[in-house]
Chains A and B, each alone.
Chain A
């Protein structure tokens, strides 16, 4: 089957975006410097090797990709994808290859043109095992090779046809300058000078990076898609969340993407600050180990589906989320977030019904003892809950869960661990219940790596070892569906099965609220990558500060 062709639509979208950016620039006045408050530093600036979100934020402004997902965040086919380095592309009849035509105006920040050879070079670098790129695995699995026809044309060859093959390619691979990186040893590319001071192809160029202090990028004057409105973007680092909020309040920072929930009321009433709720891809859940630790023996409690369901029904998740986040958080409806296209928040879920939960536990033989804890055959209904002590949200919710389950006659022993120990014990399956948190992507296909039987193998991410072939089959069908509607139906069926089985108790999507100074004009923030629209951000006329006129080096 042939996938969609972008052709005319893409060009139209490209033109529209350019026009909008230009119009915005003229209307709001070009120039200005904004300061973004941040608590984390990038772990490098080479797209093939960086792993943190902070690195992505900067890296995706320095490096353009072949195409970018559109605001609808579709990941199937190429519908909605907007041209970047590739100004157009066309599919082969069998959909096993796609030919990209690069924009001849695109330049590296050192002035050299972006060539098709750079695309092939990047592919080889990403997929070289010596580079140990976390993105390389996905590319290797999806792609066979990239061939070059001429300096502006290359063809990506896929191993098999999959609905998300285009998404995998263009959102993973950032073309890299062969003339600068070709001579660098692959096993040391991560620590190369280029990774610390890269030469990119995006709307901003790298200026300066003083780790844990500041990082600066500046607009590329002759950028092929149109110059960004702002002159400079500077990330100013502070390790303490309350300090970051204060920087925003004091006007030292123009933007902070993660205003913590306790500071939201103060920020909302601050005259210089406006709050910008944004989409979210994080979710947290209580994973139940269906086996006894790392052994092959069934877990004495959680191997029992009825007991798991009773525990899920015994928790008032709405009250938990409200206690922690007021009205800002959302109860998780399954192993997906609302911003994913596969999300279905109307899906039936196990209701909060403490009486029904108690009846189920009674029927299973768990009787309330004199100390209020249920027992069966002399064994108390008790388990340990492993959580990361460094996470305030998870720590607080663990306490609330402990308290709610106490009312049901279940004793929960809290087991806080430092983050390294927490993660290591989780991956080694050394837990009863694990307070997990995941960062999803717009593609719902990540469920394969987290909840299917395949992921329950040693080293896999399904450490609670939830095994259900019916669920696996629905996920498999969803991953191979040829259109969004079919895929949605399969995902929905898979979500329904896993929700009924309750291998985990779905807890919350944490609130994501950004704060911006009123002098900054941003527009709505993208759920998947708010930073991608920074080139169109501007300073409101009449609100310029001394820092706006400081010249970029």
Chain B
């Protein structure tokens, strides 16, 4: 296991260095710079733009900028976000927890519900209820994310006014609430975006897990358990489920980067201040420091997610452990 971890860590370090370098080159060769928007403003003269670029060092040769970026990175200086008018560290410190809250809630709910639904569908294979739930899952999976989000927004926030339209907190009342009140306020705002994402995750996971369960249920050890008189629930949960978790664990590992990356459409429609939209805006605004810091953190999480998935799969399935 230690060898597996060390080998994955070394691979991850190389991948992260490559991704960061590639991102640096690509964002700098793309047309424009953080001050491109001012090109559309006749009052911003060439001199002003030149001064602005010089102040941030964007007038220097690319290799020199790269070395400077690496040196700053070594000192954990991530720079200034031009799109947020804040230090990048501060932007990440505010955005990453928001994204983690949204995505962890959504993925957690989605995984649990998806596994439960997939297990239930496998146990009732061929029944009318299984076919109906399968069709519903497929429908949810096929529907574009933004359509589901807009539908939920229209019904729950606008028509029935049960939940807030957008944001993460009430812009007026939040600060004056008690701690419990603030938590409840965040929860109210979380329900629609997290619910939308959870619905889609549930649908996807249930499809995978149903197939995995159907592959495991005819196995001999399941038949043996049944022959020994183990209850059907215990057969499903204790024996079949654990052996069918491999694909779900792999999916969960692959979803780990999304915990950081967020969900652009859902964040946009519900105004959730997460990393997904932040990164899209940063790329659009050529906010070099924020883009690079986000890519760096994102690639670390991708590597970490892959490693965690491998380890979990090894823990869950002795055959995988043996192969490693």
Please give the residue numbers on chain A whose beta carbons come within 8 Å of chain B beta carbons, in ascending order.
Answer: 33, 35, 41-44, 51, 129-130, 132-138, 187, 191, 195-196, 208, 210-214, 216, 232, 234, 236-240, 242-243, 246-247, 249-252, 390, 418-421, 423-427, 437-439, 446, 449-450, 455, 459, 461, 546-547, 550-551, 553
Contacts and interface: CB of A to CB of B under 8 A. Distances in A.
Interface in B4-23: none
Contact of B150 (A211, A242, A437, A446): A242
Given A213-B168, A243-B166, A390-B284, 14 more contacts: A43-B85, A134-B44, A134-B45, A134-B48, A191-B85, A210-B273, A213-B273, A239-B281, A240-B271, A242-B150, A243-B153, A418-B284, A419-B32, A547-B173
Interface in B262-312: 267-271, 273, 277-278, 281, 284, 286
A461 B41 CA distance: 9
A420 B158 contact: no
Contact of A252 (B36, B86, B164, B270): B164
A427 B36 CA distance: 10
B158 A246 contact: yes
Nearest to A188: B55
A163 B159 CA distance: 55
B52 interface: yes
Contacts of A461: 42
Interface string B39-63: 1111111111001100100000000
A420 B173 CA distance: 38
Interface string B90-105: 0100100000000000
Interface of B: 30-32, 36-48, 51-52, 55, 80, 84-86, 91, 94, 150, 153-154, 157-158, 161, 164-173, 175-176, 267-271, 273, 277-278, 281, 284, 286
Contacts of A51: 37-38, 41, 44
Given A134-B43, A238-B167, A250 B51 contact: no
Contacts of A136: 48
Given A196-B85, A243-B271, A547-B172, A424 B167 contact: no
A418 B283 CA distance: 11
B86 A249 contact: no
B37 A214 contact: no
Contacts of B39: 423-424, 426-427
Contacts of A249: 158
A132 B48 contact: yes
A316 B161 CA distance: 44
Nearest to B40: A423
A250 B167 contact: no
A424 B32 contact: yes
16 contacts: A135-B43, A137-B48, A211-B84, A213-B167, A214-B171, A238-B165, A249-B158, A250-B161, A251-B161, A419-B37, A420-B32, A420-B284, A424-B32, A461-B42, A550-B176, A551-B176
Nearest to A52: B37
A423 B277 contact: no
Contacts of A250: 157-158, 161, 164-165
B86 A211 contact: yes
Nearest to A43: B85
A346 to B, nearest CB: 27
Contacts of B52: 132
Contacts of B38: 51, 134
Interface centre among A242, A249, A419, A551 (most CB of B within 10 A): A419
Contacts of B161: 250-251
A187 B164 contact: no
Nearest to B278: A212
Contacts of B150: 242
A243 B172 contact: no
Contacts of B91: 211
Nearest to B50: A132
Contacts of A455: 42
A195 B85 contact: yes
A249 B154 CA distance: 11
| Interface-central residue, B85, B170, B271, by most chain A CB under 10 Å | B85
A211 B170 CA distance: 15
Contacts of B158: 246, 249-250
Nearest to A449: B42
Contacts of B267: 239
A43 B51 CA distance: 18
B271 A238 contact: yes
B28 to A, nearest CB: 12
Contacts of B286: 420
Contacts of B30: 420
Contacts of A423: 32, 36-37, 39-40
Contact of A236 (B44, B86, B171): B171
Nearest to B46: A459
A136 B158 CA distance: 46
B4 to A, nearest CB: 41
Contacts of B31: 418, 420-421, 424-425
A213 B166 CA distance: 10
A210 to B, nearest CB: 7
A420 to B, nearest CB: 3
A296 B231 CA distance: 87
Nearest to B43: A134
Contact of A446 (B32, B37, B42, B273): B42
Which of B47, B170, B286 has the largest count of A CB atoms less than 10 A from its CB? B170
Closest 7 CB pairs of A and B: A420-B32, A238-B271, A449-B42, A547-B172, A132-B51, A421-B31, A459-B46
Contacts of B55: 132, 187
A239 B44 contact: no
B167 A236 contact: yes
Nearest to B95: A212
Given A138-B43, A195-B85, A246-B165, A234 B172 contact: yes
